[in-house]
Chains A and B, each alone.
Chain A
Amino acid sequence: MMLDQLKETIKTALPELDFVMGWTTGYDPLHATPLYMYEPDDVDQLIWGPLNVHNLAVHLPALRHKKVGIVVKGCDSRSVVELLQENLIDRENVVIFGAPCNGVVDMTKIRKAVPDAHFARSVETADNSLTITTDKDTHTLSLAEVMADKCTRCRFPNAVEADHFVGEKRIPAVETDPYADLESFESQGFAERRDFWMAEMDRCIRCYACRNACPLCVCRDHCVAQSREPHWVSQRDGVRDKFMFQVIHAIHMAGRCTECGECERACPMDIPVLLLKRKLGNVIHDLFDYDAGLDAEARPPLLAFKLEEDSIKEKDW
């Protein structure tokens, strides 16, 4: 079985490493949580499946002084690649364990389908479904119904970079990113779009979970949002200031964001902030024909300077 193989591979590599990061069952059967495997016994707690929502690459830059292993889904591996590209981690200090991913769940969709999800007593996962038993009843959901949107358009279910790949590689269901969600949002008028963002951002509590969950938000401790000198963003809690931060965040991610969706998943107030990054990802794709996090040797377009970009004909203006 693939999970057993993965466990064996990790156990074999563990003596050379400080620890390996993976996932285990969290505070209830519906929630996985990151697992740090220091000893072979810890590896037995490892789980693999649709509940492993977290992108563990977020921890790598702070662990640069250690030699660590990381278990990745395809999307997580793109964050690792992006970190390598930006020289924020060292390839020789990271051992990447990959396995084929069938997609992960979106807890917001689960809560919508099963409002009683916070009373889950047991969860069984099969290839294409999820059965949640609460204190009152049992619900079987198809995985397609509750899968994170990023998984429905996933082009890289297998790690794009791995030292150890366990299991049979999956064939991606789509070849190019379908930006239908973005098109549908943008078909609305300006006022509607503005009202949407004002209403959504209004409940932001400025906790910065979106920022801290982002594997590529690496200024973290010296963030523009909290810096006093210079004082770029005010501490007022009006929707304008909250939105201002999201825009700064999104622009800093342009051409670097792999759309892993951790910003949106981490938001305790369920604000759909990934949409902003999708927009910029789409612009970068159109302008530079570039997708982030696929090639460790490539340079993100906004981190490079070319006198004239192939698709931006300044001299023709």
Chain B
Amino acid sequence: MAKYLKNDDLGQWLAELGTEYKIHAPVQEGRSIAFRPLTQDKILRIDRHATIGPKEILFPACEELMHFSYEKDTDNPGREKIRVQPADNAVPTLIFGSRPCDARGFDVFDGAFTQCAVKDNYYAARREQAVVVSIACTRTENTCFCNWVGGSPDGTNGSDVLLTPIQDGFVVQPVTEKGETLLQKGSLLTGAAPDQVREAEQLRAAACASLPEAPDFKCMPEQLYNLFDNMDFWEKQSAKCISCGACTYLCPTCHCFNITDERNGNEGERLRSWDNCMSRQFTQEASGHNPRPEKAYRLKNRVGHKFCYFPDLHEGHIACVGCGRCIKSCPVSLDIRQVVTSAKECHLPAEETDNE
């Protein structure tokens, strides 16, 4: 059942939940908005999309996988013993103020980290303990295209609770059982009146209607496989790209990582940090060979992974949520919508058919 929360009570509601969860929310930080642990001194910013989404809460930019130390083996002085201490940092976490596109990114992570042959215990432990409270979008930016890739401004995939901002407050709706449980806590939620629910529905419908018409991307895997060797196409598409990693790091679905041992003397940590396919080192082989030697190959990988290889492996789910950050924060305003549309519309020379 839908509930209602007054704007004035939001802080108090979060404070009550804060006794049980570590709360991460979008706050003003310098000239940007980022998800940070919510404390008294932070200014909550839920009026617009955060500069960077909440992905690092469940998939940190850098995390310690284990701590290791070497010590002499007293029984066999020629050898060293290694002690390994795996890290376990998962705590009950509330992600407040994500957008439906951000939350849907966690769906993609789930596909890659928890539903494949190998389960990623680090991610899974954090995901298990996280509750995601999202805010429906009632106004869409020029870079928004969630509806192109199967989402919507009020989509609920990946969220446990959905808030819709209305006059003076929020209509609060549970999405999952976890969400139901969360809404039973705290003293400030009241039942939403039918006209409040109606107002929320109208606002959400208007936001959905404001997005440009969505092209059909079902053909994309096939089309992108067809374009795989067409380097002329990829060189033109990537010409203005400067091969930085801003798009991948800001992307709610990009989840490639690198593993490094950082050792000081006899102690060190094994770290997992974000990697990105725009970087030369991404597929650099020990032999010196690099299957993705130039930016054209790298952009092909990024677009291919999202619109072709991932959907191929995960029942057609596109690994892009249309948040538009890769467009908005790209130093050269490279527009992935335009790349995918060009790929879709690229007429390949008809295959020669053998009629004999």
Least CB separation from A111: chain B residue: B31
Identify which of A89-97, A152-160, A209-217, A277-285 touches chain B: A209-217
When each residue 196-234 of chain A gets 1 if its CB lies under 8 Å from chain B and 0 otherwise, what string results?
000110110111110111000000110000101000001
Query: Which residues of chain B have C-beta atoms less than 8 A from A26's C-beta?
Result: 333, 335
Query: Which residues of chain B have C-beta atoms less than 8 A from A266's C-beta?
Result: 242, 244, 246, 331
**A54 and B332: CB pair below 8 A?**
yes
Query: Which residues of chain B have C-beta atoms less than 8 A from A34's C-beta?
Result: 239-240, 332
**B333 and A208: CB pair below 8 A?**
no
**A235 and B245: CB pair below 8 A?**
no
Identify which of A71-79, A112-120, A249-257 touches chain B: A112-120
Identify which of B104-112, B166-174, B218-226, B275-283 touches chain A: B275-283
CA A213 to CA B246, docked complex, whole Å: 11
A109: min CB distance to chain B, Å: 10
CA A202 to CA B338, docked complex, whole Å: 33
**A120 and B279: CB pair below 8 A?**
no
Most buried by B among A118, A209, A211, A234: A209
Least CB separation from A112: chain B residue: B31
**B242 and A237: CB pair below 8 A?**
no
In-complex Cβ contact of A212 among B139, B240, B242 (8 A): B242
Are A203 and B331 also in contact (CB < 8 A) when A36-B236, A36-B239, A237-B61 are? no
Query: Which residues of chain B have C-beta atoms less than 8 A from A27's C-beta?
Result: 142-143, 327, 333, 335, 337-338
Indicate if B76 sits at the interface (CB-CB under 8 A).
no
Least CB separation from B258: chain A residue: A235
Indicate if B273 sits at the interface (CB-CB under 8 A).
yes
Query: Which residues of chain B have C-beta atoms less than 8 A from A237's C-beta?
Result: 60-62, 273
CA A236 to CA B262, docked complex, whole Å: 8
Indicate if B51 sits at the interface (CB-CB under 8 A).
yes
Indicate if A7 sits at the interface (CB-CB under 8 A).
no
- A-B Cβ contacts below 8 A, count: 130
**A213 and B244: CB pair below 8 A?**
yes
Are A235 and B333 also in contact (CB < 8 A) when A199-B30, A209-B242, A209-B245 are? no
Identify which of A187-195, A268-276, A297-305 touches chain B: A268-276
Chain B, range 112-131, C-beta contacts under 8 Å to A: none
Indicate if B48 sits at the interface (CB-CB under 8 A).
yes
Indicate if A186 sits at the interface (CB-CB under 8 A).
no
In-complex Cβ contact of B240 among A31, A36, A209, A271 (8 A): A36
Are A265 and B240 also in contact (CB < 8 A) when A28-B142, A118-B143, A235-B260 are? no
Least CB separation from A234: chain B residue: B262
Are A205 and B52 also in contact (CB < 8 A) when A27-B143, A118-B143, A118-B328 are? yes
CA A72 to CA B32, docked complex, whole Å: 30
Query: Which residues of chain B have C-beta atoms less than 8 A from A234's C-beta?
Result: 260, 262
Are A270 and B141 also in contact (CB < 8 A) when A54-B331, A205-B61 are? no
Query: Which residues of chain B have C-beta atoms less than 8 A from A81's C-beta?
Result: none
A213: min CB distance to chain B, Å: 5
Known: A59-B242, A207-B246, A207-B249. 9 other contacts (CB 8 A): A33-B240, A54-B331, A59-B240, A120-B142, A207-B250, A211-B244, A266-B331, A269-B30, A269-B51
Q: Which residues of B contact A (CB under 8 A)?
A: 29-32, 34, 48-49, 51-52, 60-62, 139, 141-143, 210, 236, 239-240, 242-246, 248-250, 258, 260, 262, 271, 273-274, 276, 279-281, 325, 327-329, 331-335, 337-338
**Could you list some 22 contacts between A and B, CB below 8 A?**
A27-B335, A27-B337, A28-B143, A33-B333, A36-B240, A59-B239, A112-B31, A118-B143, A135-B139, A207-B245, A207-B249, A207-B250, A209-B245, A209-B331, A228-B260, A235-B62, A235-B273, A236-B262, A236-B271, A237-B273, A270-B30, A271-B30
